[in-house]
């Protein structure tokens, strides 16, 4: 029993390390952003920063969205998520989103900020706190993921915002991540690491047989209680051309103790610190 | 019409002319110099000046040869723009020797003021310039030049259009005739013409000096127009921030004249107003508010904390917009869209928290001010109180959006009298109260406005599932049409918006008659899911509402299905009736 728990904590430590690394990267790159930098530049900066620190594989390559692209305005096809030549201007909001794999552990994080003050995005970030609490509490109550998704939706509407995570592939608010086997050669398909996609596909197959899905969406395939594992949760708010999100790992276990059944992998993250400072 | 009470008159001598200058307000406030047009005298500004006086030091003067100012001798050559600039500088030096003045010109006043604001010798004397219905002759010259030398079909059309609107300019260039006409019948019938065609209030203006003013003023055209249009100055750049106010119903100037104005006046603030040429008399409230806002922003070093970025900011900037049902859905999206366009927003909802939230976010995205009011629109007394409060504290509403509504579904025989009462109280009586109270304030003010009522595609699409709801919305549609006819003469537009299936909270609060609570809950969920799949965003309806107000549209179906049903109701009503018999997939 102790070995199992020990193994668990050791695994979690691995995930926590890579998540911290990714957030450090986001903060470092965000600090280097200046007017005129393009989304492609920002994506490259993230990639290089992480490569230098030993990241060899990705769940997905880093994304960067500037201006109204943070709210996915007029996004019709998934190709539009990829970084473009859009240049950053003073006051513009931006979102950095990256999913590095480090020593076989995957993280998937989202970091929202703006170049100078942006009161609207500021407000969105403040209002995301309620979503973080709502999601955790609902998962601890073992409510079906589809219902939690709808609750998040309702909270967004009440706050006056639009749900922008529905623009993601399959409209997911979260997806499972796991360990990835390290290979010398790690090809990618449309920006997604093939090893990670393989893991996701295997999960999807298992889940299909057992009645759960590694994708957490509004659709019927998510009509099941939270499945144990690590979930990269990414509620994404949009408000008239400004978007904000956070993305971090939620640990779900099969423990009967509510506290232990679900918890955020790390509470020492930029957005969480920011809420704590505001209080 | 005489000048407002408390006006101080004085005389300024310049170049052998005596100019009559009137001042109002505290001289320590920023000075605003109002320059009148043709054929007018400074009294044309009375209504605007009295509204500005508590915030500004208002100065009006009679242009040489007009009103009580003396005329140059001889008249020919006495009205050149150079001489008018001398006059302006003399007045500015007399009323505000130490600080630059804020210049406002209407019609020929604006034509002159463009000269003032773009010549070297006035640099440092002008803090800002608000131009109303009067282009710079130099810019006009370049505008014509470009269209003549590089004609495209569009440019030729623009040229011919403005050419036709300038008919009076040609007449004024004939000798003697204009003078005779003004001193004869034209001078006599002019006030009546203004009231009837230009829709200005009959308030004793023009003054008795009109025939002489108009006769002298003809020399403004003769001395300047030909010379400047033929040889426009190449360096007519404004050296002060410019606000351009364009009346959309102007019979004498086309909007296209200002298409390339940014070239001459960088950082131009554009405003449009649905009115005719004489806005200083027909829309003094709006004018005074735009002038004083512009003056304040320039005096404050043009800080731009939250800039209105919306598409119709030129039209709605600073206007007061009241939206009912603004706590969610279409109402909230509409409040946000107006906020983005720089309007002041009153968000009314029966849910206090939701209304507060709307107001708060509205301020964040561009509304200079936004307030939340908790009122149930079906409550007559509460609405009356709201109307009083809004008029007293925020002003007269410029755009009213009667949007609050509830859903009710179920067979006619399952719908109880209480159900009927509830849905009619909110959907119909709410609109009636809104139109009655706020529409009355608009009509009494007499400076135009717009009312938007949210009807529904169900207003013309019958359905066996929605008898009560459809009846209430059909009533709203017809009420809007009737009101539109009644208010047309007062410059108040009325629009009925028919959205269709829009993804809002109306589905989860809708009542389903004739089923138990559990089944009702299930149906609400099911409808919400269907509407969610349709996923037509309320923001698009809000955009349609703003567009409808700008264009003054009567009935606006929004979603494709609402448009299709609207067409069918006209051309294939039987098909529509067949659809009405279908059982909804609940």
Contacts of B328 in chain A (CB under 8 A): 157-158
A211 touches chain B (CB under 8 A): no
- DSSP designation for A87: B
pLDDT digits (tens, 9 = 90+) for A197-211: 888 899 899 888 998
Residues B17-56 have pLDDT tens digits of 999 999 999 999 999 999 999 999 999 999 999 999 999 9
B351 touches chain A (CB under 8 A): no
CB contact (8 A) between residue B306 and residue A119: yes
Tell me the two tokens of residue B416. 């109880």
Q: Which CATH superfamily is domain B8-299 in?
A: Alpha/Beta hydrolase fold, catalytic domain (3.40.50.1820)
Do A97 and A109 contact (CB within 8 A), yes or no? yes
B428: which DSSP letter?
Answer: I
Q: Does A73 touch chain B (CB under 8 A)?
A: no
Q: What average pLDDT score do residues A220-241 get? A: 93
- With a pLDDT cut of 90, the percent of chain B lying above it is 85
Residue B469 annotated to the active site: yes
pLDDT band for position B307 (50/70/90)?
low
| Residues of A in Cβ contact (< 8 Å) with B354 | 158
How many residues does this entry show for chain A?
279
For B505, name the nearest residue in chain A, comparing CA atoms only.
A157
> Quick check: A272 contacting B, CB < 8 Å?
no
Q: Is B505 on the interface with A (CB under 8 A)?
A: yes
- Give the pLDDT band of residue A1 (cuts 50, 70, 90): very low
Nearest Cβ partner of A240 from B336, B354, B357? B336
Q: Tokens 């903060």 — which residue?
A: A27
> Apex CA B574: angle with CA B569 and CA B577, to 5°?
80
User: Closest chain A residue to B337 measured between Cα atoms?
Assistant: A240
Contact residues on chain A for B505, CB-CB shorter than 8 A: 157
Q: Which one is predicted more confidently, B118 or B308?
A: B118
Q: Hey, how many other C-beta atoms are within 10 angstroms of the C-beta on A181?
A: 11
Rounded CA-CA distance A173/A222 in Å is 11
Closest Cβ–Cβ partner in B340, B364, B532 for A119: B364
Interface predicted TM-score of the whole assembly (ipTM), two decimals: 0.88
Give the residue on B whose Cα is nearest the Cα of A120: B364
Token pair for residue B326?
Answer: 């603004």
Nearest-Cα distance to chain A for B240, in Å, is 25
Residue-wise pLDDT tens digits, B380-418: 999 999 999 999 999 999 999 999 999 999 999 999 999
Cross-chain Cβ contact B336/A123 below 8 Å: no
> Which candidate, A138, A169, A140, A175, places its Cα nearest to that of A153?
A138
**pLDDT for the residue B305:** 43
Tell me which chain B residues have a C-beta less than 8 angstroms from the C-beta of A123. Answer: 361, 364
- B328 with A157: Cβ contact below 8 A: yes
Picking from B340, B354, B505, the nearest residue to A240 by CB comes out as: B340
What residue has token string 């695994």? A11
| Helix, strand, coil content of chain A in percent (nearest 5) | 45, 25, 30
pLDDT given at position B532: 85
pLDDT band at residue A77 under the 50/70/90 scheme: confident
Could you state, in order of their start, the residue ranges of all structural domains in chain B? 8-299, 313-580
Across the strands, what pairs with A251?
A230, A263
Q: Hey, is the C-beta of B575 within 8 angstroms of any chain A C-beta?
A: no
Per-residue pLDDT, A107: 93
Instruction: Please indicate if any CB of chain A lies within 8 Å of the CB of B310.
Output: no
Q: Give me the pLDDT at residue B304, please.
A: 55
Q: What's the confidence (pLDDT) of residue B523?
A: 92
Q: Given phi > 0 = left and psi -120 to 50 = alpha, else beta, which region is A72?
A: left
- Segment B570-584, tens digit of pLDDT: 999 999 999 999 988
- Residues of A numbered 42-71 whose beta carbons fall under 8 angstroms of chain B's beta carbons: which are they? none
Mean pLDDT of A156-181: 91
Q: Which residues contact A155 (CB under 8 A, 6 or more apart)?
A: A130, A131, A134
Residue A57, min C-alpha distance to chain B (Å)? 37
Q: Which pLDDT does position B520 carry in this prediction?
A: 92
DSSP-derived 3-state class of residue A237: strand
Instruction: Map residue B307 onto helix, strand or coil.
Output: coil
Question: Angle formed by the axes of helices B430-445 and B467-487, to 10°?
Answer: 10
Would you call B358 and A160 a contact, using CB atoms and an 8 Å cutoff? yes
How does pLDDT run across B45-59, given as a tens digit for each residue?
999 999 999 999 999
Q: Which residues of B touch A119 (CB under 8 A)?
A: 306, 364
- Choosing from B61, B221, B469, B531, the catalytic residue is B469
CB distance B106 to B290 below 8 Å:
no
Nearest CA in chain B to A119: B364
Residues from chain B that touch A120, judged by Cβ atoms under 8 A, are 364-365
CA–CA separation, B370 and B345 (whole Å):
5
Write down the CATH number for the domain with range B313-580: 3.40.50.720
CB contact B378 to A (< 8 Å): no
Cα–Cα dist B296/B265, whole Å: 19
- Residue to test with chain A: of B303, B362, B365, most A Cβ within 10 A: B365
**Is residue A143 within 8 angstroms of chain B, CB to CB?**
no
Interface touch B357/A239, C-beta < 8 Å: no
Q: How far apart are CA B79 and CA B505, in angstroms?
A: 65
pLDDT value of position B398: 96
Average per-residue pLDDT in chain B? 93
What per-residue confidence (pLDDT) applies to B26?
93
Q: Confidence band (pLDDT; 50, 70, 90) for A6? A: low
Residue B334 has pLDDT above 60, yes or no: yes
Q: Residue B539: how many CB atoms within 10 A of its CB?
A: 17
Cα–Cα nearest to A98, from A32, A27, A173 = A27
Contacts of A226 (CB under 8 A, 6+ apart): A139, A142, A145, A252, A262
**Across B220-246, average pLDDT:** 94
Does residue B542 sit at the A interface (CB-CB below 8 Å)? no
Terminal Cα-to-Cα distance of chain B (whole angstroms): 66
Q: Find the range with the poorest average confidence among A17-31, A177-191, B89-103, B183-197.
A: A177-191
Give yes or no on whether B8-299 and B313-580 have one common fold: yes
* A89 in contact with B, Cβ within 8 Å: no
Closest-CA residue of chain A to B354? A158
Residues 6+ apart with CB under 8 A from B47: B203, B280, B281, B284
pLDDT of res. B127: 94
Q: Do A162 and B357 touch (CB under 8 A)?
A: no
The residue in chain B having the minimum alpha-carbon distance to the alpha carbon of residue A162 is B537
pLDDT-derived band at B6 (thresholds 50, 70, 90) equals: confident
Of B38, B33, B40, whose CA–CA distance to B220 is shortest? B38
| Backbone phi, psi, residue B236, to 5° | -85, 60
* pLDDT at residue A9, as a whole number: 84
User: What residues contact residue B578 under an 8 Å CB cut-off, 6+ apart?
Assistant: none
Buried b (16+ CB within 10 A) or exposed e, A18-37: bbbbbbebbeebbeebeeeb
Identify the CATH number of the domain defined by range A2-278: 3.90.230.10
pLDDT averaged over every residue in chain A: 91
Do residue B357 and residue A160 have CB atoms under 8 angstroms apart?
A: yes
Q: What confidence score (pLDDT) does residue A181 get?
A: 86
Q: Using one digit for the tens of pLDDT, what is the confidence trace for B89-138?
A: 999 999 999 999 999 999 999 999 999 999 999 999 999 999 999 999 99
Instruction: Give the Cβ contact number of residue A114 at 10 Å.
Output: 25
Find out whether A88 and A35 touch, Cβ atoms under 8 Å: yes
The CA distance from A105 to the nearest CA of chain B, in Å, is 37
Residues 6+ apart with CB under 8 A from A33: A42, A88, A94, A115
Asked if A28 has any chain B CB less than 8 Å from its own CB, the reply is no
The CA-based angle B5-B10-B12, given to 5 degrees, is 150
What mean pLDDT do residues A130-136 have? 96
Specify the pLDDT at position A8: 65
As a whole-number percent, the residues of chain A with pLDDT over 70 amount to 97
Nearest CA in chain B to A147: B525
Residues B510, B520: Cα–Cα separation, whole Å: 9
DSSP state at residue A61 = E
**pLDDT confidence of A10, banded at 50, 70, 90?**
confident
Confidence of residue A143 (pLDDT cuts 50, 70, 90): very high
Q: Do B354 and A158 touch (CB under 8 A)?
A: yes
pLDDT digits (tens, 9 = 90+) for B58-76: 999 999 999 999 999 899 9
How far is A45 from chain B, CA to nearest CA, in Å? Answer: 31
Closest C-alpha among B56, B58, B34, B53 to residue B44:
B34
In this complex, is the C-beta atom of A197 within 8 Å of any C-beta atom belonging to chain B?
A: no
Measured between CB atoms, does A90 come within 8 Å of chain B?
Answer: no
Determine which of A99-108, B140-149, B301-310, B529-538 has the lowest per-residue pLDDT on average: B301-310
A240 touches chain B (CB under 8 A): yes
Identify the band that residue A5 occupies on the pLDDT scale cut at 50, 70 and 90: low
The answer to whether A120 contacts B364, with C-beta atoms less than 8 Å apart, is yes
- Least CB-CB distance to B365: which of A162, A218, A240? A240
Q: Do B336 and A160 touch (CB under 8 A)?
A: yes
User: Span B150-173, mean pLDDT?
Assistant: 94
In this structure, are residues A200 and A59 in contact, taking their beta carbons and an 8 Å threshold? no
8-state DSSP, B463: -
């Amino acid at each position: 029993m102790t070995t199992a728990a020990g193994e668990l904590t050791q695994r979690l430590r691995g995930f926590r390390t890579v998540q911290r690394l990714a957030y450090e990267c986001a903060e470092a790159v965000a600090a280097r952003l200046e007017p005129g930098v393009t989304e492609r530049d920002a994506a490259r900066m993230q990639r290089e920063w992480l490569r230098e620190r030993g990241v060899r594989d990705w769940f997905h390559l880093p994304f960067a969205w500037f201006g109204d692209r943070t709210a996915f305005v007029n996004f019709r096809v998934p190709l539009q998520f990829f970084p473009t030549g859009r240049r950053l201007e003073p006051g513009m909001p931006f979102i950095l989103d990256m999913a590095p794999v480090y020593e076989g552990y995957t993280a998937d994080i989202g970091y929202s900020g703006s170049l100078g003050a942006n009161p609207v995005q500021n407000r969105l970030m403040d209002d995301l706190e309620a979503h973080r609490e709502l999601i955790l509490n609902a998962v601890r109550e073992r409510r079906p993921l589809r219902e939690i998704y709808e609750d998040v939706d309702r909270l967004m509407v009440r706050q006056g915002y639009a749900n922008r995570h529905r623009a993601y592939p399959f409209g997911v608010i979260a997806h499972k991540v796991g360990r990835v086997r390290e290979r010398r050669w790690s090809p990618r398909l449309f920006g997604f690491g093939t090893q990670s996609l393989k893991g996701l596909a295997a999960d999807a197959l298992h889940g299909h047989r057992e009645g759960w899905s590694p994708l957490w969406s509004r659709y019927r395939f998510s009509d099941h209680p939270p499945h144990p594992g690590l979930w990269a949760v990414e509620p994404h708010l949009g408000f008239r051309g400004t978007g904000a999100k956070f993305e971090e790992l939620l640990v779900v276990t099969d423990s009967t103790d509510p506290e232990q059944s679900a918890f955020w992998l790390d509470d020492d993250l930029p957005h969480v610190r920011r809420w704590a400072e505001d209080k | 019409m005489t000048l407002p009470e408390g006006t101080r008159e004085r005389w300024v001598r310049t170049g052998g002319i005596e100019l009559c200058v009137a001042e109002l307000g505290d001289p320590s406030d920023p000075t605003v110099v109002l320059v009148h047009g043709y054929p007018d005298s400074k009294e044309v500004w009375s209504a605007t000046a009295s509204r500005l006086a508590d915030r500004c030091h208002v100065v009006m003067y009679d242009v040489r040869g007009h009103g009580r100012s003396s005329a140059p001798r001889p008249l020919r050559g006495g009205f050149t723009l150079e001489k008018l600039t001398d006059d302006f500088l003399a007045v500015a030096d007399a009323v505000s020797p130490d600080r630059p003045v804020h210049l406002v010109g209407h019609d020929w006043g604006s034509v002159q003021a463009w000269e003032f604001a773009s010549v070297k010798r006035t640099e440092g004397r002008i803090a800002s310039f608000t131009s109303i219905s009067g282009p710079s002759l130099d810019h006009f010259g370049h505008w014509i030049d470009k269209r003549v030398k590089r004609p495209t079909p569009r440019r030729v059309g623009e040229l011919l259009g403005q050419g036709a609107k300038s008919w009076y300019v040609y007449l004024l260039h004939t000798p003697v005739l204009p003078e005779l006409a003004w001193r004869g019948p034209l001078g006599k019938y002019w006030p009546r013409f203004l009231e009837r065609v230009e829709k200005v209030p009959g308030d004793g203006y023009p003054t008795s000096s009109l025939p002489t003013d108009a006769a002298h003023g003809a020399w403004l055209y003769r001395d300047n127009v030909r010379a400047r249009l033929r040889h426009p100055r190449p360096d007519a750049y404004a050296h002060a921030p410019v606000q351009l106010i364009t009346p959309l119903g102007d019979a004498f100037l086309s909007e296209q004249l200002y298409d390339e104005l940014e070239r001459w006046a960088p950082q131009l603030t554009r405003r449009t107003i649905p009115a005719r040429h004489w806005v200083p008399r027909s829309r003094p409230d709006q004018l005074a508010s735009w002038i004083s806002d512009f003056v304040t922003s320039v005096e404050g070093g043009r800080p731009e904390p939250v800039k209105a970025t919306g598409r119709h900011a030129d039209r709605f900037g600073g206007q007061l917009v009241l939206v009912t049902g603004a706590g969610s859905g279409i109402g909230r999206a509409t409040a946000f869209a107006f906020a983005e366009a720089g309007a002041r927003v009153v968000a009314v909802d029966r849910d206090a928290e939701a209304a507060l939230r709307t107001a708060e976010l509205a301020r964040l995205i561009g509304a200079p001010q936004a307030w939340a009011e908790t009122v149930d629109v079906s409550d007559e007394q509460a609405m009356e109180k709201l109307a009083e409060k809004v008029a007293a504290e925020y002003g007269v509403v410029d755009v009213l959006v009667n949007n609050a509504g509830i859903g009710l579904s179920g067979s006619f025989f399952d719908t109880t009298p209480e159900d009927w009462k509830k849905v009619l109280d909110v959907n119909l009586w709410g609109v009636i109260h809104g139109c009655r109270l706020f529409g009355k304030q608009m009509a009494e003010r007499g400076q135009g406005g717009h009312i938007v009522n949210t009807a529904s595609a169900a207003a013309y699409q019958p359905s066996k599932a929605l008898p009560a709801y459809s009846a209430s919305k059909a009533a709203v549609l017809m009420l809007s049409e009737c009101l539109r006819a009644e208010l047309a003469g007062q410059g108040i537009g009325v629009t009925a918006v028919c959205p269709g299936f829009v993804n809002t909270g109306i589905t989860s609060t809708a009542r389903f008659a004739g089923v138990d609570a559990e089944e009702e809950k299930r149906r609400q969920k099911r409808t919400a899911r269907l509407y969610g799949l349709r996923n037509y965003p309320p923001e698009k309806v809000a955009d349609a509402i703003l567009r409808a107000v700008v264009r003054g549209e009567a009935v606006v179906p929004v979603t494709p299905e609402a448009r299709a049903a609207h067409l069918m109701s006209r051309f294939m009503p039987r098909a529509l009736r067949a659809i009405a018999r279908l059982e909804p997939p609940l």
